Amino acid sequence: MGDVFAVIPARYGSTRFPGKPLALINGRPMIRWVWEAVRRCRMVERVVIATDDARVCECARGFGAECVMTGECASGTDRVAQVAGGCEHSVILNIQGDEPLLQPAWIDALVAPFDRDPAVEMTTLRTVIRDPSEADDPNVVKVVVRQDESALYFSRSRIPHPRQAGGLVFKHVGLYGYRREFLLRFASMLPSPLEVAESLEQLRALEAGARIAVPALEILSVAVDRPDDVGRVESILKLAEREPPDAAAASQGDSSW
């Protein structure tokens, strides 16, 4: 699929980390790490950084990115929809600007279900939780799926409940793909009861009956939410530089560091 438009929403005024898109990671702004990863994905035809802050826009244009200024938006999804309203691409990607470890293979997996199944309206990703503490952490969103990998439910609680030992728990990785028509419709919907209860907007799509494909990958994802997370990301990047490419690939499977 070549008709893919990736939007990277970048809000300067994060409550927990003001100026987050411009935070330096190994000397480069975080937003540049994300943009460069998307640019390496051959499925993506166009990449735009969308922001409401002139400082982010100036930085983005300084390293060669296309940048669009938006109005005030309640969420990253609303910002992406605002940009998508002016394009004609059939698939729109919402690529979080705080995922500096993003790899092109993640984007390939995000786009692939649209080719395989015409009924899919939205896609996102999941990965197995390896750290037991994450399974009960409400800041780590969990997901359960049907046998065809379409979403059944997302929750901040541990799902499924472990009545017996063993079994896998999957973490939701917050990158999204949408068919354009669905994204515009989704952004116009009012928040749903489950969305409000869990504070997870993807539940609005599920309650509306959307088919959400959730492929599984081995992903090393560290979203930068606080200044302390920058050091964690830099440590991972340094480790990847020290490992031979074949060893780095083998240590995480075929789709991540």
Taking the model in full, what pTM does it have?
Answer: 0.89
User: Closest by alpha carbon to 94, among 172, 229, 4, 155?
Assistant: 4
The alpha carbon of 11 is separated from its chain's Cα centroid by a whole number of angstroms, namely 15
CA–CA separation, 65 vs 6, rounded Å?
12
Question: How many CB atoms are located within 10 Å of the residue 223 CB?
Answer: 16
Q: Which pLDDT score is estimated for 242? A: 54
Q: Which pLDDT score is estimated for 74? A: 78
Q: Which residues, other chains included, contact 96 with Cβ-Cβ below 8 Å and sequence gap of 6+?
A: 8, 9, 34, 76, 174, 175, 223
User: Closest by alpha carbon to 175, among 24, 6, 23, 11?
Assistant: 6
Average pLDDT, consecutive stretches of 10 residues, N- to C-terminus, the chain (257 residues):
87 84 93 95 94 93 94 85 91 92 94 96 96 91 97 97 87 95 95 96 96 94 83 86 44 40
CB-based contact 251:243 (threshold 8 Å)? yes
* CATH class name, domain 4-252: alpha beta
Q: Return the structure tokens found at 136.
A: 């009960």
Q: Which pLDDT score is estimated for 255? A: 43
Distance set, CA 233 to CA 28, 138, 212, 219, 257 (Å):
12, 22, 29, 14, 12
Q: Which pLDDT score is estimated for 2? A: 60
